[in-house]
Amino acid sequence: MGLFSQKIAAKELNRESAKISQADLEALLARQKTIEEKVRNSGRLNRFNTAIKLMFSLLRDYWQGNYRAVPWKSIAAIAGALIYVLNPLDVIPDFLAGLGFLDDASVVAFCLKLVESDLHRYAAWKELQDSPSSTDTN
């Protein structure tokens, strides 16, 4: 990670996730399109596009009460990482050409490392929810 170390990414993620409350999830979900657009338009963040969509899906299912088999710590970490991405004036301001999204990408990468198993479990659950049940084929 070079200029923005894993240690700094962890510190920033911990700082953001410690502030997350249940009420913050609704506001974050309302900003999903803005964050996804920012990710798509950023070279450094674009590689996380699929993971960020999965993170939002997990947050939405958690918020709606559809999926609760995930610890709050993981929900807070995901929300913290996404809020960090949303903030244009974080440790390395987004307007700095070439460097602006380096910290955002590092925080998202660190978050994914922390919640990887929770995201895999959620993705498996989601796939089961989205597939037609065996009773529908009769």
8 A C-beta contact, residue 77 and residue 71: no
Q: What is the pLDDT of residue 2?
A: 55
Exposed, middle or buried: residue 121 (CB in 10 Å: 0-12, 13-18, 19+)?
Answer: middle
Token pair belonging to 97: 């050409």
Q: What is the pLDDT of residue 100?
A: 80
CA 38 to chain centre: 13
Mean pLDDT value across residues 92-96: 77
pLDDT in tens, 78-88: 999 999 999 88
Query: Rg of the chain over CA atoms, in angstroms?
Result: 16
Q: What is the pLDDT of residue 136?
A: 55
